Structure 1
Amino acid sequence: MPTVERTAHSPAPPGTVQAYLRDFANAEEWDAGTISCTPVDDSPVGVGKQWHNVSEFRGRETSLTYTLEVDEPGHLRIVGRNKTVTSEDDMYLTDDGPGTTVTYRATFTFHGAAKLATPLLVPALGKLGDDAQKTLQKAIEGLPVS
């Protein structure tokens, strides 16, 4: 299972950063690969909330249904699934004094024929992580400080 981990920093406090990240519709702003991300229904954001995400990976569009599975102070887990891949995205938020450090870890489990190609996908996943780190950093830098 390939894993990509990156960090980003925000001058905003952890609660502000977590509120922003827990609404996965905001992935359109902070995830470089996301084309669109819309709630499946109009229920409030909380554990069990789902989003339909369309992303680009290696020049192709792919759709996943993401579910907020963990929403605890300092930790979010949002899991995306389709027939080809399961993406477990864990975000850890640490109060670092003047703001928040976000450690973002994505673990990918490929299914079916894609499982055989896993070793070939590792470099592309690394680039995806690098691109996402840049857009995440830019997005959370602009969050309100108070």
Structure 2
Amino acid sequence: MTTSSRFAVAVHILTLLASAAEPLPSSLIAGSVGTNPVLIRRLVSQLAEAGLVSTVMGSNGGASLARAAASITLLDVFRAVESATLIAPHHSVPNPACMVGREITGALKHAADRAQAAMDVALAEITIASMLADVERAARQRKP
């Protein structure tokens, strides 16, 4: 069982783009994230499909925000790059002859729906602009 880092990397990308005055190439973004430019291009493509990023080809090309950072929520980002639900059901079919086996799927779905709804509310309250403000505040505090 693994946890995806697509969401964290996508937030990093968008926050970096929010700090930039011009489009950024995938190689520069990859250097900031500490990953391969191919991964960055895949995520930028997903973000572009969601209307969060626009790209320009050519020697001065790169990615930039498609709309204001204050209008992009972390929920928008999560929905753009994550396909899995927060809590996945069993991969095998539980035993219907067992009370727990018979009822656990419904009980887990109820708990998962509540958790997903709470996460959606929290992510909808945070924007890329607020993430950039947090990053800039931390950077100012770090300087001697």
Could you say which structure has the greater relative contact order, defined with CA pairs below 8 angstroms and 6 or more residues apart? 1
Q: Indicate the TM-score class for this superposition, using the shorter chain for normalisation.
A: 0.3 to 0.5
Counting helix residues as a fraction of each chain, which structure ranks higher?
2
If the length of structure 2 is used for normalisation, what is the TM-score? 0.33
Counting strand residues as a fraction of each chain, which structure ranks higher?
1
- For the pair shown, the structure with the greater C-alpha radius of gyration is 2
If the length of structure 1 is used for normalisation, what is the TM-score? 0.33
